[in-house]
Chains A and B, each alone.
Chain A
């Protein structure tokens, strides 16, 4: 039987500088997200979640899954540098495969939402080539990208990545708190989007302001 599916991807920096944050993510924030989504029947019935990690390269940590089917979700591992281009290329491959597979089963698939998180500058000089790969207007599965910058991340770079919305950590905000707010925004977005039903079907819901972060507006670009 066909279902309506709203896919969410976490595209997360696993570079060496993320070590403390990766631990917090694995031990606290991802289990909380898993619990919140899998125990909300409205949301569990129509959202799917995937994690792609990137550092020296990019890899799929959690294939696109129904969180209510999982006992636990695998964690991130801090390692290496910050290859944005590899992240975007892997993301495009994953989305192409996932959406094609879901559609071949007859499902009604809504435009994917990607939550991108990095604490640094891209280390690959040609990262914009990778970004064009996932913002390509000719690609019908092009996702809505919501980008978050922590630590050394550059507001203008985050603004370029966040085609839907972009947020940079506010000055003097503790990184652990910022990460908690990021995870909370991600969970709320999945819940609110899963609960939304409009004339166009489900629509992606992301708040305009997130505590600890400053929205990056087009003016900054």
Chain B
């Protein structure tokens, strides 16, 4: 055994971790304020009929975009041994012309919302990709159609298992981003049911929430959810400037980031795309009482002068 330890140490010293794609450095999650009791508690795995892991992590470069995505259980679900009710899914065009991302936050009081969130995210990006591949139609139309198909898929699943569709209630935020710039930047479209917000981070300043351009009543959107309440679907269309990031998240991430000093640190850390393990660690910041599941998909628009293309 001592030999094995020596060998492992030698191995690590011979490797420059920054040469491995996605890896640049190692650090511990930041603790904001007084730690609270929950941060010290061990995780418990759920006793579910269908296993779902604590954390889902992904990353890619597609066209001029750099993508980091993570969904992780909050401290409460980790302690209580309950499944993650958040989910995300990604898809890209077969010729890398666009990227799709979905973020879902299962409604806490709905008993199967963890399944609803998972199903909604994967169905939404799959359906949107199909619509976009099959027709050169409007991106917003494709996202709206995919949102409705996602709701229908949940209803079918509920029917199959003889459950109430309301038990699967989840938010859905679905985004389309072009992978190559058109004049000023990278055009994007986001449609959302419920309150998982879209945000933007620029070269300077804080993470800022993007407001729907339509006259959507924000209070009304807060209660909307798939599959039964599609009464309010908000839409945002914009252009991502080179170097800026479009951030889709659930409120477990957005509430502390938009309302507390956590946001200042995240803005500093994510001005440039972090390495994949760093991104995971940074999203795991500990802040007392902010114990909800967290999901964040961040899409940086590359620019030549920053070497991100």
A residues at B contact (CB < 8 Å): 1-5, 41-42, 44-46, 68, 106, 108, 195-201, 203
**Stretch of B5-13, B114-122, B204-212, B286-294 that contacts chain A:** B286-294
User: Which of B34, B74, B194 interacts with A197 by CB under 8 Å?
Assistant: B74
For chains A and B in complex, what number of residue pairs have CB atoms within 8 angstroms?
Answer: 74
Tell me which residues from 112 to 149 in chain B have a Cβ below 8 Å from any Cβ of chain A.
Answer: none
Residues of the B chain whose Cβ atoms lie less than 8 Å from the Cβ of A68? 37
Once bound together, how far apart are the Cα atoms of A5 and B289, in whole Å?
Answer: 8
Q: CB within 8 A of B109: which of A4, A45, A198, A201?
A: A198
Q: How far is the CA of A198 from the CA of B76 in the complex (A)?
A: 13
Q: Which residues of B contact A108 (CB under 8 A)?
A: 255, 259
Closest approach, in angstroms, between the C-beta of B75 and any C-beta of chain A? 8
Do A196 and B261 touch across chains, with their CB atoms under 8 A apart? no
Shortest Cβ distance from residue B193 to the other chain A in the assembled complex, whole angstroms? 11
Fill in one digit per residue for B40-59: 1 if any A CB lies within 8 Å of its CB, else 0: 11000000000000000000
Are A199 and B41 in contact (CB-based, < 8 A)? Answer: no
Contact indicator B32/A197 (Cβ below 8 Å): no
Q: Distance in Å from the Cβ of A2 to the closest Cβ of chain B? A: 4
Kindly provide the distance from the CB of B194 to the nearest chain A CB, expressed in whole angstroms.
Answer: 6
User: Are A41 and B38 also in contact (CB < 8 A) when A46-B289, A195-B80, A197-B291 are?
Assistant: yes
B214-246 toward A: CB 8 Å interface, digit per residue (1/0)? Answer: 000000001101000000000000000000000
Q: Are A45 and B289 in contact (CB under 8 A)?
A: yes
In the complex, A142 Cα to B263 Cα: how many Å? 30
State which of B80, B105, B261, B287 has its C-beta within 8 Å of the C-beta of A199.
B105
* 22 sampled A-B residue pairs with Cβ under 8 A: A1-B32, A1-B33, A1-B287, A3-B33, A3-B290, A41-B37, A42-B75, A42-B79, A42-B80, A45-B37, A45-B38, A46-B288, A108-B259, A197-B108, A197-B252, A197-B291, A198-B108, A198-B109, A199-B194, A199-B223, A199-B225, A203-B109
Determine if B34 and A1 form an interchain contact, defined as CB atoms under 8 angstroms apart. yes
Per the bound structure, the CA–CA distance linking A44 and B38 in Å amounts to 9
Are B37 and A199 touching (Cβ within 8 A)?
A: no
A190 to B259, CA, bound (A): 24
Q: Which residues from B are CB-within-8-Å of A42?
A: 38, 75-76, 79-80, 291
Q: Bound complex: CA of A202 vs CA of B84, how far in Å?
A: 17
Interface residue ranges of B235-288 to A (CB < 8 Å): 251-252, 255, 259-261, 287-288
Known contacts A4-B289, A41-B36, A41-B79; decide if A199 and B222 are in contact (CB<8 Å).
Answer: yes
Q: Which residue of A lies closest to B261 (CB)?
A: A1
| Also in contact, A44 and B74, with CB within 8 A (given A2-B260, A2-B261) | no
